[in-house]
Structure 1
Amino acid sequence: MFFIPSTPFLDSAFDVATLLFISALIVLSLLSISFIFNLCLKSRTALHLRHFNSLWTVRFLLVIFIIFWSLNELLRIPTLRRTYLYPFLSVLASFEEPQFCKIHVALSLGFFEPAFLVTLLFLVDVSTEKKTPNVSWAIAFVLATCLPMLLVQVLFLFFRPFHKLHLPLPEIFVRNYVVHKVEYGGRMVSCTYPLLNTIMFAAFGGAFSMWFLFSCWKVLSLVINKGLRLRIYTLAATVLVPLPLQIILMGMTVLWKPDHPAFTAVSFAAFLSTLICAALGQGILVIKPIVDSLAAGGDCCRWNGKPKTTEGVEIAVSAD
């Protein structure tokens, strides 16, 4: 039987599991980055890889957003936050621990998660285009889609316009943290998901899901290879199942206080659903296409059944 020594930030099974899953996702992301740069190096001498390599910046952007989302999730672990982050920032400025909860919700629901989802969508959309869009267009597309969401989340978290307009809302709509007592008379700040911010993210999730479903349908209408069709079905399920599940679970967390075991379990399930989406998404759209491209000639990023000609050499989509 294995024994895990007690440390300041490992005081619950869910904290340990969260740290392990975040570590695994970061390792996977670093592996994805190594694949991306390996392709960049090989494309310098292999002409047939240069067309596929034109999207390396977008794939790199996807992985970076996932890494930042993972690191942001560390803010939800109370003892890690209180032991390592709060003392450091409180020395630099007048920084209260509950501010971490607002920052976490704003960055997670307002930018990092929407950003990696929109980047996934962009990669699916351009896979059917004959001409690869400019990288600056990809960055502009992500920012134009996500920045309004971030601004709205920040507005309702930090400025609370309903409160200033004297329009009272139930506490569950605006509560982003709870202070509760722990052993030996201490107190702990636990982050929560404000229902109002969850509703705003749900609106984004609904619009995104319809767009993503349409994009997958458009790709399927062009694909004749069974292996590629299976990959698209898997990608669609990877995004369209965990995202609504995450939103439902976040909404359910308002039913319990943070010190209740059910709250911890439901919050962890919401985190896990997003992590699965991020891990499988980069596996399908980053690692697998690069591996196939290196093995089959560099044209696997195009999900259609028409052979293409690159530098006088006809390259067909690989068949499984």
Structure 2
Amino acid sequence: MPLTKLVPDAFGVLTISLVALLILLGLLCIAYSFYFQSHVRKLAFTQLGYFTGPWIIRITFILFAIWWALGEIFRLSLFRLLSGLDLRWQQNLCKWYIVSNLGFAEPCLFLTLMFLLRAPLKMESGALSGKWNRNTACYTFLYCLPMLALQLALVLSESRLNGGSGSYVKLSRPFTRTYSRVTIDHAEVALCTYPLLSTIILGVFAAVLTTYLFWLGRQILKLVINKRLQKRVYTLIFSVFSFLPLRIAMLCLSVLASADKIVFEALSFLAFLSLFCFCVVSISLLVYFPVSDSMALRGLRDIDGDDSRAVTEERSGALLLAPQNEDSLSLRGRRSSSQERYVELSLFLEAEN
């Protein structure tokens, strides 16, 4: 069924509404993180300050999610119908969208999630320090560069890959096409499409990181025996293994439909919706809940180091698998290693008041 103006309007308004909700959630979590950080420093809650370690990387994860969400607005048919841009600008915008989202924002999202989950397993190497935050940010950009370079090369060499001047190979258009010219209600626009080669590269990248994230999740589950905390870990693993493959599948299927058909708009929206759900779940589990649970313990001051830790863990209901020494047993068996306390409270703490 061909597109009419009503169809892109409907999908466009729904997409913009969801993007606004994601941005609002992200900004609230950023403000909440800054509030908690300043709260810990001003009131000298040193025990709670121990769990604020990767707060910069958490905020970075939100910023990548917002970057991706804003990029999704620029690919919309509604945006093109309302912006009044000429066809050349619309085509260049589609190329920028592929490089920005598929080559930068999405790989950085996956990498940041990996580092956030890896942090609790690397406590002995200083995962709570400011140096760790800086190094992790640098590694994220460094590891993303190959993906960015590949996607940029594919976009810039689109004509050569299609058999144009100076070409050395000839591929069918769906493998390299970044846009398609269509007519919607007598207005000619360039709709963004997803090159199959770009999608395959992103899919391979996501598959490798998903496998590694599955291994990280299993390692974290070995440290967590509280059922409430286990549910959070399982929820995060489920979101990674369901939403990411679903997005890649929808992007691949979109090349089978013409850009001027409703099926293409529906597949593009489902691809957007899958990663939107992934971002919401990840931000909630890795940013909001850790800060919220730590704030629930803000009444605990640093009266006595050992007693404060014992009370903190007693209130948090943290039941850990740590090997305990004699000092730990004297504190009612509630103390655990720094690595395990971080896993419980920094990622998936369920505070019991």
Query: TM over 0.5: same fold?
Result: yes
Deviation at 1:78, TM superposition (A): 2.5
> Distance in 2 between the 1:42 and 1:11 partners?
46
Letter of the structure 2 residue corresponding to residue 58 of structure 1: I
Q: Which structure is larger by alpha-carbon Rg, 1 or 2?
A: 2
1:150 to 135, 148, 151: 148
Deviation at 1:282, TM superposition (A): 0.5
Deviation at 1:80, TM superposition (A): 1.6
Deviation at 1:83, TM superposition (A): 3.4
Instruction: Report what 2:24 is aligned to.
Output: 27
Closer, same or farther in 2 for the Cα pair 1:264/1:9, shift >3 Å? closer
Q: Within the alignment, does 1:38 sit opposite 2:16 as a pair?
A: no
CA contact (8 A) 2:217 2:233 kept: yes
Deviation at 1:21, TM superposition (A): 0.5
Deviation at 1:295, TM superposition (A): 1.2
Letter of the structure 1 residue corresponding to residue 279 of structure 2: A
Closer, same or farther in 2 for the Cα pair 1:260/1:19, shift >3 Å? same
Gaps of 5+ in 2: 299-311, 323-334, 339-343
> Distance in 2 between the 1:107 and 1:77 partners?
15
Any residues of structure 2 matched to 1:216-255 within 5 Å, and which? 216-255=217-256
Closer, same or farther in 2 for the Cα pair 1:53/1:263, shift >3 Å? same
> Distance in 1 between the 2:319 and 2:103 partners?
31
TM-score after normalising by structure 1 = 0.87
> Distance in 1 between the 2:34 and 2:58 partners?
11
Q: How many residues are paired up?
A: 301
Percent of matched pairs sharing the same residue = 29
TM-score after normalising by structure 2 = 0.79
Closer, same or farther in 2 for the Cα pair 1:304/1:253, shift >3 Å? farther
Partner of 2:182, secondary structure, is: strand
Partner of 1:296, secondary structure, is: coil
> Distance in 2 between the 1:171 and 1:303 partners?
56
> Distance in 2 between the 1:11 and 1:282 partners?
29
Q: Within the alignment, does 1:289 sit opposite 2:290 as a pair?
A: yes
Deviation by residue 1:81-133 (Cα, 9 ceiling, x = unmatched): 4533847xx9xxxx622011111111111111111121111111112332443
Closer, same or farther in 2 for the Cα pair 1:304/1:22, shift >3 Å? farther
Letter of the structure 1 residue corresponding to residue 177 of structure 2: R
Deviation by residue 1:151-206 (Cα, 9 ceiling, x = unmatched): 100000113463544200011101111111122x3201110000010011111011
CA contact (8 A) 2:7 2:262 kept: no
> Distance in 1 between the 2:245 and 2:82 partners?
33
Instruction: Report what 1:4 is aligned to.
Output: none
CA contact (8 A) 1:128 1:303 kept: no
Letter of the structure 2 residue corresponding to residue 208 of structure 1: L
Gaps of 5+ in 1: 1-7, 311-315
Letter of the structure 2 residue corresponding to residue 25 of structure 1: L
Closer, same or farther in 2 for the Cα pair 1:221/1:11, shift >3 Å? closer
Any residues of structure 2 matched to 1:1-150 within 5 Å, and which? 12-44=9-41, 45=43, 46-81=45-80, 83-84=82-83, 86=85, 96-131=89-124, 132-133=126-127, 134-150=132-148
> Distance in 2 between the 1:211 and 1:85 partners?
44
Letter of the structure 2 residue corresponding to residue 181 of structure 1: T
Any residues of structure 2 matched to 1:183-198 within 5 Å, and which? 183=185, 185-198=186-199
